[in-house]
Structure 1
């Protein structure tokens, strides 16, 4: 801006991003190469906690079956069975979700879909962001 000028200079900034749904919320997805911030998906974390809690309850013998536990918890058997599958996720994927390092497309709806139970095969579907330190 020059002295005495009433018109400020204009600077245009172009930031490429796209809006994606994540856990029922809309979120900006950064372009490739941009460092993502950590963002814990509370819906996913809660589902993981429930899954491991239910697994512990079943393994302890407190409940004889998933049906019995689902009835006690007031949850549909099919939903409980799908959530319990989260206990089959590879430890590094669970850790990434708890740390908020999962990719934006890794949502509760996505992880409740069928996925391979072999840990090595899960990477392609749920590979977390790789942070550069």
Structure 2
């Protein structure tokens, strides 16, 4: 542009994207090839923090059973045990979640299903293309 070129009043930019639900909130999913700064899924990060905190509390001997801990935390035993399962995730997967590098379909809800016991199986099924 030169000084003689007039500046347009409006500029229209088209960015193709889809709206998806993740962890109870809506998020924009850009088309293939577009890059965006990913943010960690707050629900997943919060659940991981709770899981590792509860695990430490159980391992320290402060609580003899999961039921005692659930009563202290005023939550259902089933919820506590479901969240505690997150401590069995592969370290690479935990790191990806904390950094926001998990795939869009990986949510707290999706982790309620069957998860492979072995870390390599978790990485293959939950973080495809990282091995």
Tell me the TM-score range normalised by the shorter chain: 0.7 to 0.9
Superposed counterparts of 1:1-133, under 5 Å: 14-127=14-127
3-state DSSP class of the match of 2:95?
A: helix
CA distance in 2, matches of 1:95, 1:128: 15
Unaligned runs of 5+ in 1: 1-7
Unaligned runs of 5+ in 2: 1-7
* Count, aligned residues: 123
CA distance in 2, matches of 1:129, 1:32: 15
Change (3 A) 1:128 1:60: farther
CA distance in 1, matches of 2:75, 2:122: 27
In the superposition, the TM-score normalised over structure 2's length comes to 0.82
Q: Is the 8 A contact 1:16 1:31 kept in 2?
A: yes
3-state DSSP class of the match of 1:64?
A: coil
RMSD of aligned alpha carbons: 2.3
3-state DSSP class of the match of 1:108?
A: coil
In the superposition, the TM-score normalised over structure 1's length comes to 0.81
Please state how far the C-alpha of 1:13 moved relative to its aligned partner. Answer: 5.2
Please state how far the C-alpha of 1:34 moved relative to its aligned partner. Answer: 2.6
CA distance in 2, matches of 1:72, 1:82: 17
3-state DSSP class of the match of 2:123?
A: helix
Structure 1 runs of 4+ off > 4 angstroms?
Answer: 10-14
